[in-house]
Amino acid sequence: MPFSEPVRLGRKRALPSCPNPLFLKWLTELRDDAKEKGLKIHHTYHKAITSLTKYPLPLQSATEAKILQNFGDGICKILDKKLQQYYKEHGPNAPIHSLPKRLQSAGEFDNNSLAPRPKKNDASVSDRTAAEKKGGVEGGGRKKKREYVPQKRSGGYAVLLTLYREAQIPGSKGFMFKMELQTEAQKLCDKSFTVPDLGSKYTAWSSVSTLIQKNLLIKTHNPARYALTEKGLALAERLESAETGGQSPVDGSSKVPAEENPKLVDLTCSDDDNEDNDEEARPETPEIPATASVHLTSADTGAGSADSVGLQTKSQQMSGARLPPGSYDIVLCVDFIETTGGCQHRKQELVKELQRNGVNFDVRKLNVGDFLWVAREKVAPVSGQLRAPAGRELVLDYIVERKRMDDLCGSIIDGRFREQKFRLKRCGLRKPIYLVEECGKAASHMSLPESTLQQAIVNTQVVDGFFVKRVQDVRESAAYLTIMTRYLSKLYQNQTLFCRSRELDGDVVEDDRSVPSCSLISFAEFNYGAIKNKCQTVKEVFARQLMQVSGLSGDKAAAILELYNTPHSLLLAYNRCSTEAEKEKLLASVRYGKLKRNLGPALSKTVYQLYCSQGPLL
């Protein structure tokens, strides 16, 4: 048996106390408060506490703490506000590197603990006994959690009431889609469901995650459907009875919480329970309603109604969801990929040319296409705010995909070319444009022959129906975008624009392509619907499978999906065929495209072999 060293006995050396106990105390309170409400931001506060306890020097202000890890602008701003309040209460010369005597004597705080929890382990026995007699403490000395009730006029409050009132309508479908729910709930909420306030990235819709976590709301299907659980229905019924009980008027209810909690300011909070606590009464004009502003009546919400599109269009025009002439600007949206990565000099040249031409443009993330135009609502600045509130944005029917010859060659080789065209067709905008930069004689030095590239461009124009614009370099591309921006500004200057929901109304098909469409979808809905790797339906996956077959384009796949929208329905059709030859020719007579040509026996046989052959294809 090897010799073991004797165990050294003795007193452990006490850890040095934190030289910034006030900051540590405030961060601990913020962390515990966030954890009690179930907010994920309590992890951020805990990391900041860890960094602060390791820092050996005293800090004079929270701004100095920015040098520490996990201290951002939001946390420093909160600590600075608390420090100013501390100076007001204790005087401008009050010490900040030691706790006041009343806090030290209360035993609430331990500087050596990285995860202090006030009033949990340090409470006296007499205090615990008194609390137990009142019924406020459970076994183990833990406080009994209060029932979650959303604040009046908050996002969670509006969502619960809207779903409850929808459920009370006779013959209702029992759920609501996202855009439909946002539109109806906006009337009951003081904050916007789509536009965050200045200094925050959260909207009223952020509270939906809290409702789901509290088992008050359930989210199913794709597109998402939202419905109340039994627990949520009971809470919403109580909120509805309180709302109709004549407690406080709806217009003035937002002022009450602010008076009750005047000191609660948490800009980093993601929950909407207390997001209106520090707000003053809002003016009527600057509030931005939801972007998808389709007003739905009880008749419109009936599932499976044959006249739903016409009813929703009428209700949309009667509601306030419109942008009259002169109330909006036409803005060019540039995908951020077009300004970053790759050849920085060439991409920055595009931005400089647009600036030199005086184009009103905005760089943002586009999930499909490289350029598009939006009609942005003009919003008057609000007194006391640095920037004016963001206006509603409706997407015009024009979208541009920019291709250099080398990029076109690479996209054909790796298969992105067909997929991008397919996504552009399905994005909901009627007039896709292919902007091709030929770059002189660069096409003669590509991996593919120049004739192949030219044929692909012609097919894009003739077969796919895209408008193809050929330019020589970046400068000509910027010139074309400038001309298009000015053309669209003139085209829409006397038009009244209406906002519709593509999720509820579907795509609008108009025969006269020369007349600008005034029924447009919001940018938020457009960009969300164009996400490349979002959760897909069986029909969408089936379409992608079919398009992997050589010679089977997007139009052909769409024609097959009109008859058989899932692989199961196609296999059932094959099983109903009596002979092998009949199965091979099942899809031969399917018509596709504008010319209504037949799919042909060759492709029909290939698809049959793909889904019905047991072994490898020959």
Task: Determine how many CB atoms are found less than 10 A away from the CB of residue 601.
Answer: 14
Closest by CA to 27, choosing from 35, 38, 37, 15, is 35
Match 């004016």 to its residue by tokens: 388
Phi first, then psi, for residue 437 (nearest 5°) are -95, 110
Query: Does residue 272 have an active-site annotation?
Result: no
Helix, strand, or coil (residue 315) = helix
Find the helix or strand (DSSP H, E) in which 361 lies.
strand 361-364
Residue 116 burial (10 A CB sphere; 0-12, 13-18, 19+): buried
| Cα–Cα dist 467/458, whole Å | 10
What the block records as the tokens of 91 is: 């005087």
Helix, strand, or coil (residue 376) = strand
Q: Which residues contact 589 (CB under 8 A, 6 or more apart)?
A: 598, 599
| Cα–Cα dist 607/560, whole Å | 10
Helix, strand, or coil (residue 590) = coil
Rounded to the nearest 10 degrees, how much is the dihedral formed by the CA atoms of 208, 211, 213, 216?
Answer: -140
* Exposure class string for 289-300: b at 16+ Cβ within 10 A, else e: bbbbbbbbeeeb
436 has which bridge partners?
403, 470
Query: Does residue 370 have an active-site annotation?
Result: yes
As a 3-state breakdown, the chain gives helix, strand, coil percent values, each rounded to 5, of 45, 10, 45
Please pick, among 338, 349, 419, 450, the residue that the annotation labels catalytic: 338
Query: Does residue 338 have an active-site annotation?
Result: yes
Please pick, among 184, 273, 370, 393, the residue that the annotation labels catalytic: 370
Enumerate the active-site residues. 335, 338, 370
